[in-house]
Amino acid sequence: MKKKKKKASILLLLLLCVYLLLPFAVTLVYSLFTEWTGILPSGFTLRNYKLLFFDAEFWMSLMRTMLICIISVVASITTLLLAMYVVVVEYPFLAKYIQFICMIPYALQGVILSISIVSLYSGTGTLFSNRMLMLFGAYGVLVLPYIFQGIRNNINAINTQMLMNAAKMLGCSPLKAYFKVVVPNILPGIFVSSLLSVSVIFGDFVLANNIAGNSYQNIQVYLFRKLSISSGLSSAVVVVIFLMVFLMTGMVLLLQGIHQKKEKNNGVYRD
Amino acid sequence: MMKKSKTSVFLLAPFLIVVLIYELLPLGQLVLNSFLQKKNHTITLEYYIRIFTTPVYLQAIQNSIRISLISALIGLSVAFFAGKAYFESDGKLKQFFYLVLNMTSNFSGVPLTFAFMILMGNTGVLTLLLQKTGLGGDFNLYSGNGLLLVYIYFQIPLATLLLLPAFLGLKKEWREAATILNASSFSYWWKIGIPNLLPSILGTFVCKRLGCLCNGVCVDFE
């Protein structure tokens, strides 16, 4: 009876894996063949990838995406780490307000956030009407929920108050204790949530298209423009994006696994 | 003490400025504008009345709610069985499934839509295959049902990921106690398992519906 049940579970998981991976598998095969009108594709070719990798525009879009990921995520982490000092050291009650502010973007998602930012600042002629700056700001806000959760979970996990007290007893000022003791201890954990944020920005099309469009073309806008030109080339772009997200996700899970093992060995528990 | 609060203000400032400029002010302006008559700067409910009386807008709202409700329901049902199966199995497959869940939940927007176009669009691989084998109905990806299909697809991994922690909260003793009292597997889940999961299921449901209502990429295409 129990064995039968286990088999059913395994079957269900296998089916779901196939179902979830099917669109990507088909895209991968599609990008590698010239024709697929029968049951099996024909005419194996690497032409799409060759075209893609020799396209300067592709590399530029990829670099832009990377740049925007790094700047927005670093900005988000820095401002939140500074703000969390105030919560940890002086006013713990502020935590719930900061959490609320950080969770708003999670509920809003792309369209509403981008439209409200564009309608407020575009055409004002100020520094804020710069499309690039708008996009950086919008992404910085978009990843706040992930970064906040990462920072808060890690601050809870390392017994921050004890570390702060110990450092203070040894003559550190609270500021020094926070930045020299607490922050270095939580940085590895924050790295995981920043990778997650990077994959969120990597997967975003709405914000990039609504706010910047052609004036700051990221990888998804590039893909969108290629869709109408060549489906072969587009499928190659999709495969590249998928592989990058795959790599980042794999790395996040690996790091989380290592982190948890370490915690188990140290006898630290999460609450 | 004075110095202390000065540092606090100084350290909180960057966060508050960024959030104010790129989150709170734009949103506030959006809400305010929805009540403001542009011509003579008076407060009005005109726009809201117009939304709820114009057939096009009403239809759009109805469509959004219909799609988000159905896709969230189906996504959650699959997620429930997936979560159950996840905890009943072990080893490599379990890890692989978790990896697939994480990967596909991070993957949406244009690439996902494109993948579905290749698979089931007008000249899609599956569409042609079904036509050739004579099994094909008249399914159209670029319709309400097609949109629903894509939404269901990307609800499943997210809903499963959100539900997994809830399954950890089900205690082994409950299952044992139920078995001793002669409960069948079905009545265990119906009377103990699902009621205990309900708060998380509802939370996930609301979350998914929100995500659905706010996600615009796939809609743009179809």
**Residues forming a β-bridge with B36:** B43
Average pLDDT over residues A29-54: 81
Higher pLDDT, A267 or A136: A136
pLDDT tens figures, B179-190: 777 777 777 777
Percent of chain A exceeding pLDDT 70 equals: 93
Asked if A124 has any chain B CB less than 8 Å from its own CB, the reply is no
Q: Rounded to whole angstroms, how far apart are CA atoms B86 and A13?
A: 7
Provide the Cα torsion A89, A94, A96, A102; round to 10°. -90
Report the distance separating Cα A223 and Cα A221, nearest Å: 5
**Rounded to whole angstroms, what are the CA distances from A79 to B98, B191, B211?**
32, 47, 26
The CA distance from A88 to A188, in Å, is 19
- Decide: B112 and A238 in contact? Cβ < 8 Å: no
Residues 6+ apart with CB under 8 A from B63: B144
In this model, does residue B127 exceed pLDDT 80? no
pLDDT for A79 beyond 90:
yes
Distance CA A29, CA A19 (A): 16
CA B189 to chain centre: 24
Answer yes or no: is pLDDT of B2 > 60.
no
A139 chain-B contacts, CB cut-off 8 A? none
> What pLDDT, on the 0 to 100 scale, is given for residue B138?
63
Please tell me which residue, B19 or B146, carries the higher pLDDT value.
Answer: B19
| pLDDT range class, residue B117, cuts 50, 70, 90 | confident
CA dist., res. A141 & res. B115, Å (int)? 29
Kindly report, residue by residue over B5-48, the tens digit of the pLDDT: 788 888 888 999 998 988 888 888 888 887 877 677 777 777 77
- Which chain A residues touch B8 with a CB distance below 8 Å? 86, 90-91
- Looking at the complex, does the CB of residue A86 fall below 8 Å from at least one CB of chain B? yes
Nearest by CB to B22, which of A8, A80, A117? Answer: A117
With CA atoms as reference, report the closest residue to B104 among B158, B184, B179, B29. B158
Decide if pLDDT at A214 tops 80.
no
Q: Chain B contacts of A117, Cβ < 8 Å?
A: 22, 26
Among chain B residues, the shortest Cα distance to A137 is held by B22
Q: Count how many pairs of residues, chain A against chain B, have C-beta atoms within 8 Å.
A: 196
**pLDDT tens digits for A109-122?**
677 888 888 888 88
Whether B216 has a pLDDT exceeding 50, the answer reads no
Q: Which residues of A53-91 are buried (b: 16+ CB within 10 A; e: fewer)?
A: eeeeebeebbebbbebbeebbebbbebbbbbbbbbbbbe
**For B121-148, what is the mean pLDDT?**
73
- The pLDDT tens digits for A168-188 are 889 888 888 888 888 888 887
Domain residue ranges in chain B = 1-53, 60-221
Q: Which CATH class is domain B60-221?
A: mainly alpha
To 5 degrees, how large is the angle CA B77–CA B80–CA B86?
140
b/e per residue, A199-217, with b = 16+ CB within 10 A?
bbbbbbbbbbbbbbeeebb
Work out whether the CA dihedral B32, B34, B35, B40 comes out positive or negative.
positive
The model's confidence at residue A77, banded by pLDDT at 50, 70 and 90, is very high
Residue A76: pLDDT band with limits 50, 70, 90: very high
- Which residues of chain B are within 8 Å of residue A110 when distances are taken between CB atoms? 214-217
Q: Tell me the ipTM for this assembly.
A: 0.77
Interface of B with A in 56-85 (CB under 8 A): 78, 81-82, 84-85
